[in-house]
Amino acid sequence: MLELDLHTLLTILALGAITVVTRGFFFISDKPWTLPHWAQRGLQYAPIAALAAVVLPEIVMSHGHLVPTWRDARLFAAAVGAAYFFWRKGVLGTIVTGMLVYLPLHIGLGW
């Protein structure tokens, strides 16, 4: 059985309250709220930056270190997926082509 102490329960409740207040803050205001132009412009790059921050280390690093050899299936799959995306601009095709390269190299050759 899961056992919660008082400190853990209070932490969960406090984090829940903070989440409700911060997400509901925009509904409380009577007048419309807009971001400054510089913030709107900066948020245009946020998805790209987040994707790069998550995906790039997964491709070029293994166990906290740079991949020591070029014989890594992730490198080839990422290159083929990127080439497909720049050629056709399709996300699903990018995933499929990347996996079509990754799986044979990883499972078949053990890279």
Asked whether 88 and 79 are in contact (CB, 8 A), the reply is no
In a domain, 4, yes or no: no
pLDDT of residue 97: 96
Residue given tokens 């209070």 in the structure block: 10
Cα–Cα distance list, 85 to 2, 29, 36, 59, 77 (Å): 47, 42, 33, 17, 12
In a domain, 1, yes or no: no
- What pTM did the predictor assign? 0.59
In a domain, 6, yes or no: no
In the chain, what are the helix, strand and coil shares in percent, each to the nearest 5?
A: 70, 5, 25
pLDDT of residue 51: 83
Q: Containing domain of residue 62, as a range?
A: 34-108
In a domain, 58, yes or no: yes
Q: How many domains does the chain divide into?
A: 1
In a domain, 77, yes or no: yes
In a domain, 24, yes or no: no
In a domain, 98, yes or no: yes
pLDDT mean by block of 10 residues, the chain; 111 residues: 80 95 81 86 88 88 87 93 93 94 93 85
In a domain, 96, yes or no: yes
